[in-house]
Homo-oligomer: A and B are copies of this chain.
């Protein structure tokens, strides 16, 4: 029987634990500094038993699913403790900090830098669900720094979850692109929520009018601040660049609206409609 430790039993760690238990018949050991989370994960059948880092030497796979500011240190501790066949990966939304922290570790090749891109706006063990990863993409970075056997095992785990594995050269490349496509969306959504809460004094109107598209645009503003603050701080430089572009575009749109140029408004929206094909994977030559 395979033994898997999941460190951090939130939305992502919990959902991975559920799937791995189902798909690989592994025994799942849960590690979390939050006793409530451990208790809840046990109750929900997400983990087989609670544990601490002392079990790491017995594990076949160690999955690190804690906030990204804690990942580098825990990954080092885990790599210090693993046996010679163990696979280690984290599932954080930034990759540069952890890759940097362990780059000279003697067990570096046991670690695979990856990011299964999936999530919901919910958090904690209660948010763990089956099929969270189905059909989504798992990014694997700097594969040449990992033992090929470990890369193979990691890929098999995510293929088993019906994910598509995609390679990226460097961790910094991953962080740049994920800032543009994912992290910026979260800021855009949080600030939209903040603006509407401030400007719309009567919350009843927000509730009544949310069918207008607001609900989906603001969905990410329900996300867990404990998860997202360290992501924003770690990926700050990339985020600032994309945030500046976003604000520039909003100011440009405001100017166009101010001078009542309907043609420009129409053109900008028509050009942006291209996102429909991009998201559907349709290429324009």
Which chain A residues have a beta carbon within 8 Å of chain B's beta carbons? 93, 117-119, 121, 136-137, 139, 164, 166, 177-178, 180-182, 184-200, 202-203, 205-223, 225-226, 228-230, 232-233, 236, 239-247, 249-251, 253-254, 257-258, 260, 262, 265-266, 268-276, 278-279, 281, 283
Structural contact, A214 and B185, CB atoms closer than 8 A: yes
- Cβ–Cβ < 8 Å partners of A177 in chain B: 200, 202, 205, 209
- Cβ–Cβ < 8 Å partners of A228 in chain B: 269
The distance in angstroms between the C-alpha atoms of A246 and B187, with both chains bound, is: 11
- Cβ–Cβ < 8 Å partners of A194 in chain B: 249, 268, 271-272
Structural contact, B240 and A208, CB atoms closer than 8 A: no
- Cβ–Cβ < 8 Å partners of A214 in chain B: 181-182, 185
Structural contact, A269 and B211, CB atoms closer than 8 A: no
The distance in angstroms between the C-alpha atoms of A164 and B211, with both chains bound, is: 12
The smallest beta-carbon distance between A132 and chain B, in angstroms, is 10
The distance in angstroms between the C-alpha atoms of A76 and B163, with both chains bound, is: 56
Structural contact, A262 and B250, CB atoms closer than 8 A: no
Closest B residue, CB atoms, query A178 = B209
Structural contact, A254 and B240, CB atoms closer than 8 A: yes
Structural contact, B266 and A181, CB atoms closer than 8 A: no
